[in-house]
Chain A
Amino acid sequence: TQLLEQSPQFLSIQEGENLTVYCNSSSVFSSLQWYRQEPGEGPVLLVTVVTGGEVKKLKRLTFQFGDARKDSSLHITAAQPGDTGLYLCAGEGSGYSTLTFGKGTMLLVSP
Chain B
Amino acid sequence: DVKVTQSSRYLVKRTGEKVFLECVQDMDHENMFWYRQDPGLGLRLIYFSYDVKMKEKGDIPEGYSVSREKKERFSLILESASTNQTSMYLCASGRRGYGYTFGSGTRLTVV
Contacts and interface: CB of A to CB of B under 8 A. Distances in A.
**Size range of the chain B interface in the assembly:** 20 to 34
A15 to B, nearest CB: 27
B65 interface: no
A69 to B, nearest CB: 12
Contacts, number: 57
A103 B97 contact: no
A75 to B, nearest CB: 19
Contacts of B67: none
B45 A45 contact: no
A45 B43 contact: no
Contacts of B33: 98-99
B102 A44 contact: yes
**Size range of the chain A interface in the assembly:** 20 to 34
Nearest to B97: A31
A41 B58 CA distance: 22
B44 to A, nearest CB: 8
B17 interface: no
B59 interface: yes
A42 B104 contact: yes
Name, among A33, A41, A99, the residue most crowded by chain B CB atoms within 10 Å (CB to CB): A99
Given A30-B97, A42-B90, A88 B43 contact: yes
Interface of A: 1, 30-31, 33, 35, 40-45, 47-48, 50, 88, 90, 92, 96, 98-104
Given A41-B104, A101-B43, A103-B42, 12 more contacts: A33-B100, A40-B105, A42-B90, A42-B104, A43-B90, A44-B102, A48-B99, A50-B97, A96-B50, A99-B33, A101-B42, A104-B42
